[in-house]
Amino acid sequence: MRSHLLLVIIGTFAVLVGAQKQEGFISLDCGFPIEESPYSDPSTGLTFTSDSTFIQTGKSGRVDKELNKKFRKPYLTLRYFPEGKRNCYSLNVNRGTNYLILVTFIYGNYDGLNIYPNFDLYLGPDKWARIDMEGRQNGTFEEIIHRVRSSSLDICLVKTGPTSPIISSIELRPMRNDTYVTHSGSLRNSFRVHCSTSDREIRYDDDSYDRVWYPFFSSSFTYITTSLNINNSDTFEIPKAALKSAATPKNTSAPLIITWKPRPSNAEVYFYLHFAEIQTLAANETREFDIVLKGNFNYSAFSPPKLELLTFFTAAPVQCDSDGCNLQLIRTPNSTLPPLINALEAYTIIEFPQLETSLSDASGLTGSLASFFQNLTQIQELDLSNNSLTGLVPAFLANIKSLSLIDLSGNNFTGSVPQTLLDREKEGLVLKLEGNPELCKFSSCNPKEKKGLLVPIIASISAVLVAIVVVALFFVFRKKKVPSDVHAPTSMPVVDVGHAKHSEPSFVSKKIRFTYFEVQEMTNNYQRVLGEGGFGVVYHGCVNGTQQVAVKLLSQSSSQGYKHFKAEVRL
Ligand SMILES: *[C@@H]1O[C@H](CO)[C@@H](O)[C@H](O)[C@H]1NC(C)=O
Ligand SMILES: *[C@@H]1O[C@H](CO)[C@@H](O)[C@H](O)[C@H]1NC(C)=O
Ligand SMILES: *[C@@H]1O[C@H](CO)[C@@H](O)[C@H](O)[C@H]1NC(C)=O
Ligand SMILES: *[C@@H]1O[C@H](CO)[C@@H](O)[C@H](O)[C@H]1NC(C)=O
Ligand SMILES: *[C@@H]1O[C@H](CO)[C@@H](O)[C@H](O)[C@H]1NC(C)=O
Ligand SMILES: *[C@@H]1O[C@H](CO)[C@@H](O)[C@H](O)[C@H]1NC(C)=O
Ligand SMILES: *[C@@H]1O[C@H](CO)[C@@H](O)[C@H](O)[C@H]1NC(C)=O
Ligand SMILES: *[C@@H]1O[C@H](CO)[C@@H](O)[C@H](O)[C@H]1NC(C)=O
Ligand SMILES: *[C@@H]1O[C@H](CO)[C@@H](O)[C@H](O)[C@H]1NC(C)=O
Ligand SMILES: *[C@H]1O[C@H](CO)[C@@H](O)[C@H](O)[C@H]1NC(C)=O
């Protein structure tokens, strides 16, 4: 049903010209001598600079010269860290920008010991990944799309055993701020593939954002290609080179099935599916198929637009069942042609909780006050004055008993001040709220207090958004590159041949998680009570100003308890 999914067509964009070349790119070749820097990478044309002005520690190494031909130039040198437990790069970035951050590690037997290192990678204070290079002759990488909250970003390597951490390159690419947006957390790339029989990666400058597209081949696919120009000017700006071929199932009446196991299996996943009709259809031909992500969404009767990119993406994270994610493109009875797909991406959510709310960076904070502050149970003074914080003043601050001063002045908080906080004020807490023009600090606009809230959960909400985009444009066609396969996805999707289970009724669960603040906002700080049940009070709320929801809160004195509450929510 179409209502399972909201199709958002984003209109024509004013920005008709691609990003200026390499604008805002940071491309560091680790261990490269500063005297010979910068240089233009012969295989991509990217301008790399030495990393030496961004880090004071570590030593330069060079991969075994027998491997010189195997890797691209930026991967031939590396920096290794025999000393110190934690070594950090400090990069200047544009606050608020959504960056694609790609870090590459190639050991290349630089030290002649033939012992693959393992160590941890951190983004500021938060662990990003464990880097275990055992057996990775071709190296490994980590990639995230991450919105930076301050004007500096630390990438750190932490020694965890006898081996010295190494790093070959650091690449940051500013993305558009209207693509790859998450509800919370950052996107960790699992795979990004284009369906093609080629054996080459596609990246800059075919892709003006320098995303790396790896070819995805399966013997159960038939590939079609075109030399015609494809209009790729939607917000995602998928490179034309990645769209000009597409996969269809070899058995033309069978569905095209792609399965993939995210790690961990219950990870929250975002998918981006890129379609364009690249075959010239006769008047009596149609290509029409259902797009089904098992257990999550079902979009029927889709026909890819002719020579034009259309991207479907999960606007809220999905969770696949224990067998993994199962994407099926199922030919409709009316269709004369099998389904097709040109390219796809999958990401899992990675949280950087400390980075988000780092107190040392409490200047220029935006957004709502993160619930992470709840965990600072020993904090005595919380000064967040003169930032750009928005949203409601969170009631949980009243629960931090150690606090004697809360300074939220000079922000842009809205709504009313929670009664519990005002009560604390009466007990001696210093509460500074001036300079918040939209804030209402009077009991007349203050809704009833709520004590002992455990878990706010939305009882019902319809529709997971799955959106899309497209627009059009012209673009210059670029030449092919000769890349290495360092960025081969570590967890590739696999192709299943199978039968569509058209008849099987599928249970479509649609989960959306909301933060405490979103719940607070949607209920206008718990203003309107709808009723009260065994679990506690039920409030009226509004999502996006249109969808009405009931918000049930578990009270600590509930007669039925958390377990039952959870069971009911799941139901
Ligand atoms: C998807 O929805 C269509 C239309 O409601 C339905 O006919 C089809 O069986 C559904 N497919 C799956 C796999 O749920
Ligand atoms: C390294 O890459 C080559 C192709 O470039 C491939 O044949 C080989 O299997 C890869 N090795 C590993 C360990 O992945
Ligand atoms: C996104 O970028 C545009 C232009 O650069 C800016 O006008 C807009 O406010 C930004 N939106 C967000 C949500 O940051
Ligand atoms: C092709 O797919 C259809 C529908 O799934 C199936 O009935 C048929 O047996 C398949 N043919 C072959 C040769 O596998
Ligand atoms: C479409 O028409 C052509 C000739 O006009 C015919 O050969 C072909 O079989 C038709 N295809 C279908 C699917 O009807
Ligand atoms: C199938 O095609 C016929 C003729 O073009 C059309 O009338 C009918 O509505 C189509 N059915 C669906 C489910 O799209
Ligand atoms: C607070 O701490 C608990 C236990 O240490 C942890 O599970 C939870 O994720 C933390 N919450 C936030 C918002 O950081
Ligand atoms: C915030 O701004 C006010 C007024 O300009 C100033 O008095 C106060 O010291 C500032 N607070 C901080 C922490 O900078
Ligand atoms: C505060 O937020 C309101 C909307 O919530 C906005 O209209 C206003 O411009 C903001 N003021 C400042 C100083 O950011
Ligand atoms: C590409 O598509 C968009 C939206 O459909 C359209 O406005 C634009 O003119 C098209 N560009 C070209 C070169 O066809």
Cα of 417 to ligand 7 centre, how many Å? 24
Cα of 339 to ligand 10 centre, how many Å? 24
Candidate from 231, 237, 309 with most ligand 10 atoms within 8 A of CB, to mutate: 231
Q: How long, in residues, is the chain?
A: 571
Check if the beta carbon of residue 122 is closer than 8 Å to that of residue 128: yes
How many Å apart are CA 53 and CA 41, to the nearest integer? 19
DSSP state for residue 375 in the 8-state scheme: G
Verdict on whether the full-model pTM lies above 0.85: no
Check if the beta carbon of residue 465 is closer than 8 Å to that of residue 316: yes
Per residue in 157-188, is it b (16+ CB within 10 Å) or e — as a string?
bbbeeebbbbbbbbbbbbbbeebbebeebbbb
Q: Are strands 126-132 and 547-555 parallel, antiparallel or unpaired?
A: unpaired
Per residue in 533-556, is it b (16+ CB within 10 Å) or e — as a string?
eebbbbbbbebeeeeebebbbbbe
How many Å apart are CA 530 and CA 459, to the nearest integer? 13
Candidate from 137, 198, 484, 487 with most ligand 2 atoms within 8 A of CB, to mutate: 137
Cα of 360 to ligand 7 centre, how many Å? 19
> Ligand 5 atom 5: the closest Cα is on which residue?
284
Position in ligand 4 atom list of the atom nearest CA 255: 5
Ligand 6 site, residue 334, Cβ cutoff 6 A: yes
Identify the H or E element spanning 426.
helix 419-426
- Residue 39, sorted as left (phi over 0), alpha (psi -120 to 50) or beta, turns out to be beta
Position in ligand 6 atom list of the atom nearest CA 334: 1
Q: How far is CA 128 from the centre of its chain?
A: 13
Check if the beta carbon of residue 194 is closer than 8 Å to that of residue 360: no
> Ligand 8 atom 2: the closest Cα is on which residue?
386
Among 460, 457, 565, 467, smallest CA distance to 510 is for 460
> Ligand 9 atom 10: the closest Cα is on which residue?
412
Ligand 2 site, residue 67, Cβ cutoff 6 A: no
Position in ligand 7 atom list of the atom nearest CA 370: 13
How many Å apart are CA 421 and CA 260, to the nearest integer? 48
Ligand 2 site, residue 496, Cβ cutoff 6 A: no
Cα of 246 to ligand 4 centre, how many Å? 21
Position in ligand 4 atom list of the atom nearest CA 251: 1
Where do the DSSP E strands lie in 217-268? 221-225, 245-249, 256-260
Per residue in 221-260, is it b (16+ CB within 10 Å) or e — as a string?
bebbebeeebbbbbbbbbbbbbbbbbbbbbeeebbbbbbb
> Ligand 1 atom 2: the closest Cα is on which residue?
1
364-446 CATH, one of 3.80.10.10, 3.30.830.10, 3.30.420.40, 3.30.70.1710: 3.80.10.10
Cα of 16 to ligand 10 centre, how many Å? 10
> Ligand 7 atom 4: the closest Cα is on which residue?
375
Ligand 5 site, residue 282, Cβ cutoff 6 A: yes
Check if the beta carbon of residue 22 is closer than 8 Å to that of residue 46: yes
Q: Are strands 405-407 and 381-383 parallel, antiparallel or unpaired?
A: parallel
What is the maximum span of the chain, computed from C-alpha positions, in angstroms?
79
Q: Where are the alpha helices (DSSP H) in 315-352?
A: none
What are the structural domain ranges in the chain?
Answer: 1-18+179-357, 20-175, 364-446, 455-570
Ligand 2 site, residue 90, Cβ cutoff 6 A: no
Which two three-digit tokens encode residue 75?
């991967």
Ligand 1 site, residue 292, Cβ cutoff 6 A: yes
Which two three-digit tokens encode residue 367?
């957004």
Cα of 477 to ligand 3 centre, how many Å? 28
Question: Which ligand minimizes its atom distance to the CA of 369?
Answer: 7
How many Å apart are CA 339 and CA 207, to the nearest integer? 25
Ligand 7 site, residue 84, Cβ cutoff 6 A: no
Position in ligand 5 atom list of the atom nearest CA 336: 13
Residue 401 has a pLDDT of: 82
Question: Which ligand minimizes its atom distance to the CA of 504?
Answer: 1
Please give the chain's pLDDT, 571 residues, in tens.
Answer: 332 222 222 222 323 333 468 999 999 999 999 999 999 999 899 999 999 999 999 999 999 999 988 899 999 999 999 999 999 999 999 999 999 999 999 999 999 999 999 999 999 989 999 999 998 999 999 999 999 988 899 999 999 999 999 999 999 999 998 899 988 899 999 999 999 999 888 999 899 999 999 999 988 899 999 999 999 988 899 999 999 999 999 999 999 999 999 988 899 999 999 999 999 999 999 999 999 998 888 888 999 999 999 999 887 899 998 889 999 999 999 999 999 999 999 999 999 987 755 444 446 566 777 766 777 777 777 878 877 788 888 888 888 888 888 888 888 888 888 888 888 888 888 898 888 888 876 534 534 333 222 222 222 222 222 222 222 111 222 222 333 456 766 666 666 544 333 222 222 334 566 777 778 888 888 888 776 666 677 788 887 777 777 777 776 665 556 666 665 565 4
Residue with tokens 């509460």: 431
Helices then strands, each counted (H, E), the chain? 5, 38
**Domain 455-570 fold:** Phosphorylase Kinase; domain 1 (3.30.200)
Residue 46 has a pLDDT of: 95
Ligand 6 site, residue 284, Cβ cutoff 6 A: no
Question: Which ligand minimizes its atom distance to the CA of 483?
Answer: 2
* 3 state SS of 491: coil
Which two three-digit tokens encode residue 132?
């275990």
> Ligand 9 atom 1: the closest Cα is on which residue?
412
Cα of 2 to ligand 5 centre, how many Å? 30
Which residue type, as a one-letter code, is found at position 400?
I
Which residue type, as a one-letter code, is found at position 427?
E
> Ligand 5 atom 12: the closest Cα is on which residue?
284
Residue 535 has a pLDDT of: 64
* 20-175 and 455-570, same CATH topology: no
Question: Which ligand minimizes its atom distance to the CA of 409?
Answer: 8
Question: Which ligand minimizes its atom distance to the CA of 387?
Answer: 8
Is CATH 3.90.420.10 what the domain over 20-175 is classified as, yes or no? no
Check if the beta carbon of residue 342 is closer than 8 Å to that of residue 231: no
How many Å apart are CA 144 and CA 349, to the nearest integer? 9
Residue 307 has a pLDDT of: 96
> Ligand 10 atom 3: the closest Cα is on which residue?
472
Residue 76 has a pLDDT of: 96
How many Å apart are CA 400 and CA 181, to the nearest integer? 32
Question: Which ligand minimizes its atom distance to the CA of 296?
Answer: 1
Which two three-digit tokens encode residue 46?
């990217």
Among 278, 267, 334, 325, smallest CA distance to 304 is for 278
Residue 449 has a pLDDT of: 33
Residue 399 has a pLDDT of: 83
> Ligand 6 atom 12: the closest Cα is on which residue?
334
> Ligand 3 atom 14: the closest Cα is on which residue?
177
Question: Which ligand minimizes its atom distance to the CA of 394?
Answer: 7
Cα of 8 to ligand 6 centre, how many Å? 24
Cα of 416 to ligand 9 centre, how many Å? 15
Give Cα separations from 153 to 23, 26, 101, 122, 425 (angstroms).
18, 12, 11, 11, 37
Whether residue 70 is annotated as binding a ligand: the answer is no
